[in-house]
Structure 1
Amino acid sequence: MCVSRLAQPLTLLLVLAALAGCATSTAQQPRPRGPDPYYMTMYGPIPEEMFPLPATDISKVDPRFLRQQVPYPTHKPPGTIVIDTPNKYLYLVQDGGMALRYGIGVGKAGLEFAGEAHIGRKAVWPRWIPTSDMVAREPERYGPLAGGMDPGPTNPLGPRALYLYQDGRDTLFRIHGTTEAWSIGQAVSSGCIRMFNPDIIDLYNRVPEGTRVVVIQAEPPISAAMPPADAPIGATADGAPLSF
């Protein structure tokens, strides 16, 4: 009887210790991480717009496509827009070897713009008209819209558009917002450059008409091989190891 009475408290202590260990183990499990609150604010709702914009869903967006300031050594003067089509980035060149980098969606193969242009026109909540080439390629999709679409939440150009001109003529290529946030980082458009709606509003407010736009199709810009100041040695501008 004496042995049995001693064993019972001992057994109870062992059980409690095991449960405590399980509780500690559970508490130490890492919680799933969502988007950084900084970016949640950056891509939050914009209720003051003519057509109020809801928050942009960035929960599945690769963080490298979110707006950020990065090192960008270049001979191009501050204020120049450089579009790096292969890597799906748009850079706004700044002073001191820096740039604002935005993620973009670009044209499908064979529909991309290349070369230099300038912003010949800026528009707030623009009207959209598909080009004759778009109607000819996909008549069932674009034929009913040949007369154009009024501004609004479903308009493919989104809240802002920057119109690219060459030699005083409209190239029919634009930098604009999008109703398809998932397309940023993809090559799916009919040739235009798509941006998250908060990003195109930000860029629109920073650049005047006449801004030079350089579109790179084949070679990445020099910054692709230049690491940021706090990146480990042997890293790219995104902090990833360089491959040789």
Structure 2
Amino acid sequence: MSLSRRAFLLAVPVGVAGCATNSPPAPPTPIVATPPQRFPTPAPEVKALYEGMKDGDWELPAVDLTLVDPRYLRQKVTYSSPYPVGTIVVDTPQHFLYLVQENETALRYGIGVGREGFAWSGEAQIARKAAWPFWYPPVEMQARDEKARRWAGGMPGGLDNPLGARALYLYQDGRDTLYRIHGTAEARTIGRNVSSGCIRMINHDVIDLSARVPVGTNVVVLEVQTGES
């Protein structure tokens, strides 16, 4: 299955973009400030998965789980899949990432995905993994964003880095697809279409996923059904 991507005329703010896009910018859309939606505090055993933690040289703060729909918090679920145990399956329309396990189960994580028009599908492999990775803004982004130009040589890993605590680099046939599974500190963006094509996870979740999968893991991104014949 070949990897595909579609690009529409959408501007991608540097604050949420972790990957490259070749689309030209569109006129900015006015932003109306609205208070964030709040959800009930989850059970203690779930909350414990997202407490503050030390990861290498970084102190990762606890996640405010009232900003995340409980559906998108890490959990083991029943999952029937044609793919082998250990495969990562990404369901972009539903904003779920599944790590296939034995006995028709999977670990399910919530994700944020690319805005409409940056959707992609196909199969790829994790060619490398990085903890607190550097971020290199795409040339197109540098051309239109002063902050991106400031980091043209690469932004060091850290709590403000758009790639978060981990990045899993997706390759196909030995070539970089420019897509990543990566972390984010912006928990409220999980379950939304917010970035320029990459798959973003809560930092705690991408740390957990990265520890479970080796380099070479197959990643299947399900095709988005558009209703077209």
The structure in which a higher percent of residues are helix is 1
Alpha-carbon shift at residue 33 of structure 1 (Å): 5.2
Which residue does the alignment assign to 2:198? 192
RMSD: 1.8
Give the TM-score normalised by structure 1.
0.73
Which of residues 158, 161, 168 in structure 2 aligns to 1:155? Answer: 161
Give the TM-score normalised by structure 2.
0.77
> 2:193 corresponds to which letter in structure 1?
A
Which residue does the alignment assign to 2:69? 62
1:122-151 deviation line (CA, Å, top 9, x unaligned):
111111111224335x43452332222011
Which residue does the alignment assign to 1:179? 185
1:100 aligns with 2:126: no
1:213 aligns with 2:219: yes
Work out whether residues 126 and 218 of structure 2, in 8 Å CA contact, stay in contact via their aligned partners in 1.
yes
Work out whether residues 67 and 187 of structure 2, in 8 Å CA contact, stay in contact via their aligned partners in 1.
no
Q: Output the CA distance in 2 between the equivalents of 1:113 and 1:38.
A: 34
Which residue does the alignment assign to 1:203? 209
The secondary structure found in structure 2 opposite 1:202 is: helix
Aligned length: 188
The structure in which a higher percent of residues are strand is 2
Which residue does the alignment assign to 1:36? 43
For structure 1, the 5+ residue unaligned runs are: 1-31, 220-244
The secondary structure found in structure 1 opposite 2:129 is: strand
Change beyond 3 A, Cα 1:50–1:80: same
1:60-98 deviation line (CA, Å, top 9, x unaligned):
311100000111111100000000000000000001100
Larger radius of gyration: 1
Which of residues 81, 84, 95 in structure 2 aligns to 1:88? Answer: 95
Q: Output the CA distance in 2 between the equivalents of 1:188 and 1:81.
A: 21
The secondary structure found in structure 1 opposite 2:65 is: coil
Work out whether residues 90 and 103 of structure 1, in 8 Å CA contact, stay in contact via their aligned partners in 2.
yes
Q: Output the CA distance in 1 between the equivalents of 2:122 and 2:174.
A: 15
> 1:36 corresponds to which letter in structure 2?
A
Work out whether residues 113 and 173 of structure 1, in 8 Å CA contact, stay in contact via their aligned partners in 2.
no
Q: Output the CA distance in 2 between the equivalents of 1:112 and 1:144.
A: 28
Identity %: 56
Q: Output the CA distance in 1 between the equivalents of 2:139 and 2:174.
A: 20
1:52 aligns with 2:44: no
The secondary structure found in structure 1 opposite 2:59 is: coil
Which residue does the alignment assign to 2:121? 114
Work out whether residues 121 and 224 of structure 2, in 8 Å CA contact, stay in contact via their aligned partners in 1.
no
Q: Output the CA distance in 2 between the equivalents of 1:33 and 1:114.
A: 34
For structure 2, the 5+ residue unaligned runs are: 1-38
